[in-house]
Structure 1
Amino acid sequence: MRKYFKHYLIYYLLLFNSSEAFSQIKYIRVLWSVKPESEATISWFTKENSKKNEVLISTSKKNILIKKNISTIKTNYSRKLSNGSFFVHHVNLENLKPNQNYYFKIKSSSSVSKIYYFRTAPKDKQKGFSLLFGGDSRSNRETRQEMNRLVKKKFTENSDILALVHGGDFIYDGRKWSEWKMWLEDYSKTYTDDFRVLPLMVTRGNHEKDKKLFNEIFNWPGRGNVYYTTEIGNFSLLTLNTEISIAGNQREWLQNELERLSVSHKWILTNYHRPAWPAVKSPGLALQQWVPLFEKYKVNLVFESDGHVLKKTVPIKANKINLKEGIIYLGEGGLGVKQRIPTKKDAWYLQSPGYAESFHHLYVLSVLAEKLSVDVILKDGSVYDKFFIFPKQRI
């Protein structure tokens, strides 16, 4: 009897140490903002107020296993959520090497996570890479999970994919931790089978509500109004915030950034929530405040969300079709929410080669040396559209 008890005890201890099912470490994420070639934030939650929270990180998985040549970094931010029973933890990483896999393990008190990894962005301007774009993952959990499985499939198939750019409206009511918890649980299903984590680059939507939980979850407490520029080699992405004043300080910042980027970067893209050129709703204030700047500084491509349809406009400049110098606006959020019937389908800016349809969707943007390639992927994995964007001549 003692022999069997000993075997059961050994089995239980091995199971306990090898599984996060017994760990209080939950909902691990990697967050990107300004410098993804050299910086990242690793974030997670615990059910209890753990006293010691840290990340063990190395460029080698073996080093993590044998505990040699690793860095141990303590949290920059650990506190209880303002509207929930969990505690949130963030570790900000700096001075990372470009285009490098980083393996990490999280420790919170006596709990230890599996070994995960992510890849930093390249710095080489000739190095190609891909990003996923999508928005509005709220409301319909089963469809969101189906779309997350599609994200995982694309992420697994294409190792050049670096991150997911999310256009906002993660959940229906951003004040409810119960909804965020389900979203975080579902997002963990996007990781590959060998535990590669898909970093997130985020903006706010109207359903994030009073922004408190959004800021705590995505590491924005005290860091401003969630608009920022991400630069990867010759590529730049301006993440804008339609949930605050889009004039004033944000517009001034946008103009300064566009002026700077127009002389230093080949590719300029933007991502925000409320559309300037909608397929369902009325135009957002971005149409008056931001679109003239996009056109002046020759932005290459714009991503929008909020409308719950699949949209691609014709190339637009000065309120007209301009196939040579116009900007295509893509959207409008299809990562889970029920899709609407596009009410503006007959609008001039949605005519061929544009369109507006009621399909869940995901965008795969591939950044190449001399062009951008955009694949429009539907829920069943089929490619609905594929098109290319070429550099614009800027003076």
Structure 2
Amino acid sequence: MTETLFDVERIRKDFPILSRELPGGRPLVYLDSGNSSQKPLQVVNAMRDHLEHHYSNVGRALHVLGSESTEAYEGARDKVAAFIGAPSRDEVVFTKNASEALNLVAYAFGNPLAEDERFRVRPGDEILISEMEHHSNIVPWQLVAQRTGATLRWFPVTDEGRLDLSGLTELVNERTKIVSIVHQSNVLGTVNPVAEVLARARQVGAVMMLDASQSVPHRPVDVAALGVDFVAFTGHKMVGPSGIGVLWGRREVLEAMPPFLGGGEMIEAVWMDHSTYAPIPHKFEAGTPPIVEAVGLGAAVDYLTSVGMDDIRRHEHELTEYGLAALAEVPGLRVLGPKTAEGRGGTLSFTLPEVHPHDVGQILDDAFGIAVRVGHHCARPLHLRFGIPASTRASMYLYNTTDEIDALVRGLHHVQKVFG
């Protein structure tokens, strides 16, 4: 099938690893971008250039290198803010990943230092997540509940893999302090109905957060238009480096939050018995930050912007339609999540009868050079919901092609022959 949306072959040339030949002469078929995306030369070169010619610590030195490094670091913040439609650059906090961003917000809830009533969590209060969350958006809230005596509740998931909102009014109630759900599922591909949940959260005065790790890399995301209070995502899934993530928060809410980590650069002034804190976002960025990683993230934003997020979304939608139809030809294969491309992203998780996902992944890699992820994908409760211990996940991105999906299907037919 000919690619029609944009020049995928031109894009692939920006990613040297995609032309790598694996042992035995196998071409690499990389279908694991939901785990971590590959990096274009533009990102690699930007990071190398900074290390070679501009590196110094940021916010501390007045010399030329210090100024250049600080300018590059803060310039990356400007790029991220523009990319996600943030009303202010000061609302963009750099973290080491999305997990840290989610933990930063979770730590604020029930923190005895919090003066704002929104962050005061007591026994009887409720925290709401969903059954389709990544562990990074489950465990932090379990810890908050254990620490404060609050009750953790969750939206169930329908058999189709959609968020079950039939109990929305009962689940989001006057006791709810925060609703924290995934924007796009890392297993099901489901894109959740944010507006409907947010409207109810606003009725009861609850704060709302999105884990957007699987949406920001793949579709246009405008945080102001979403209207939520917090959004977390990570660099390594959006053609950027690992070691850097982002917490976006509404200015008013961030200013009310107590700091998460203490140390250099997050302070305004320090005495032996107390301290005052720097304005946002620096209040949440203690110590030497991920400088080169921020430069890389800025370059990743430039790259994705140059390709066009609307075009990326359309390309992945086409791949998803093609992939769902192609996988339907594999006897007995069960796709988890929505069976159509509407309201879902390019993540295709599935099971094969009588074949463990670990065996599927191993054979696909050994025989065909196809890289997929196997396991519960850090979403064990969701797998328990569907009565399975694990699944195989093929996750697509801007550089993938329908030919690679065809290779996956051929590989799955081979797997079935091996276990037939």
Task: Give the structure-2-normalised TM-score.
Answer: 0.22
Q: Which has the higher helix share?
A: 2
